[in-house]
Amino acid sequence: MIVGVVGRAILIFEHTPLMSTEHVDVLKFYCQRKVMLGQWQGVDCEVWECLPEARDIDGFTVVDLRSLLLTIDASQFALVCRAVQLLEWRDNHRFCGRCGGSTQLSSSENALMCHACELYNYPRISPCVIVVVTRGEYCLLARQAHWAEGLFSAVAGFVEAGESAESALRREVYEEVGVVIRNVRYVGSQSWPFPGQLMLGFIAEAVDEDITVDGVEISEARWWHYSKMPSAVPPPNVMSGKLIQYFIEEARQRARN
């Protein structure tokens, strides 16, 4: 199985980013680099970095990575994310960050090794917490200053050095919207290659309802009833949308009971 990449775009054939070995004879003339991804559903997979001319092959085109969110399933998206992240990791760490020597792929693990100083560099993953804060039948959703008008989502932020995910969650919520939280529940995680986050999703309860936005990252935050959510929220196949849907389903279940 092959994932084709042209720059930051994904090469697709007839609406799919996963190409079988039958496409090798066509793409091999445009491939600049191959990186092994491992196995996907029992099949060996590689990412091929292709020349821009590959997009002009009959039946092929390129799409932005984000646009694939709505067109492929979660397991396919995770594979494409891995492909993009591993290519970027290799590009960004061709030289050692400590001594400046060139790096080579380790023969024993997925790491880039500097033979000069023996420093190992592993694929970058930045943990990020994201939470839907609830208050009974309401949840708190916020809008970042640079987002389109009307788009609301869950509160999120990076885990800092020395923090647990739970402490980062409490800090981010208080910093961005001024709300203290309790009863934190873990829901799930998702790889998010923009550029290399691991999104850790939570549901939490608010101690009180007063909101104070930071005015820097967050321009607006409101309490929304589960039956009257914003017109624009992230889709349920991304972690923020999954958390929102999780809250709505729980609230509906409680209302039925």
Give the separation between CA 110 and CA 121, rounded to whole angstroms: 9
Give the separation between CA 57 and CA 62, rounded to whole angstroms: 11
Q: What CATH number should be reported for the domain holding residue 174?
A: 3.90.79.10
Q: What angle do CA 152, 83, 238 make, to 5 degrees?
A: 20
Stretch 1-11: mean pLDDT:
91
The reply to whether 108 and 159 lie within a common domain is no
Report pLDDT for 22. Answer: 79
The reply to whether 144 and 248 lie within a common domain is yes
Helix (H) or strand (E) holding 197: strand 197-206
Report pLDDT for 105. Answer: 94
The reply to whether 137 and 83 lie within a common domain is no
Report pLDDT for 176. Answer: 96
The reply to whether 17 and 30 lie within a common domain is yes
The reply to whether 136 and 232 lie within a common domain is yes
The reply to whether 11 and 77 lie within a common domain is yes
Helix (H) or strand (E) holding 48: strand 43-50
Q: What CATH number should be reported for the domain holding residue 41?
A: 3.90.79.20
Q: Over 90: is that where the pLDDT of 26 sits?
A: no
* pLDDT (tens digit per residue) in 237-254: 899 999 999 999 999 999
pLDDT band at 71, cuts 50/70/90? confident
Mean pLDDT for the chain? 93
The reply to whether 28 and 106 lie within a common domain is no
> What is the percentage of the chain residues whose pLDDT exceeds 90?
77
Q: What is the DSSP letter of 23?
A: G
Q: What angle do CA 233, 76, 21 make, to 5 degrees?
A: 150
Give the separation between CA 20 and CA 22, rounded to whole angstroms: 5
Instruction: State the pTM of this model.
Output: 0.89
Report pLDDT for 130. Answer: 99
Q: Residues 229, 148: contact at Cβ < 8 Å?
A: no
State yes or no: cis peptide before 195, omega within 30 of 0: yes
How is residue 73 written in tokens? 């399933």
pLDDT band at 21, cuts 50/70/90? confident
The reply to whether 60 and 107 lie within a common domain is no
The reply to whether 107 and 149 lie within a common domain is no
Q: Over 90: is that where the pLDDT of 14 sits?
A: no
* pLDDT (tens digit per residue) in 124-182: 899 999 999 999 999 999 999 889 889 999 999 999 999 999 999 999 999 999 999 99
The reply to whether 209 and 245 lie within a common domain is yes
pLDDT band at 195, cuts 50/70/90? confident
* pLDDT (tens digit per residue) in 72-105: 888 899 999 999 999 999 999 999 999 999 999 9
The reply to whether 104 and 149 lie within a common domain is no
Give the separation between CA 80 and CA 83, rounded to whole angstroms: 5
> What is the percentage of the chain residues whose pLDDT exceeds 70?
100
The domain containing residue 10 runs over which residues?
A: 2-92
Report pLDDT for 228. Answer: 96
Q: Residues 78, 88: contact at Cβ < 8 Å?
A: no
The reply to whether 212 and 115 lie within a common domain is no
- What are the residues facing 112 on neighbouring strands? 105, 121
Name every residue whose Cβ is closer than 8 Å to that of residue 162 and which is 6 or more positions away in sequence.
Answer: none
Structural domain total, the chain: 3
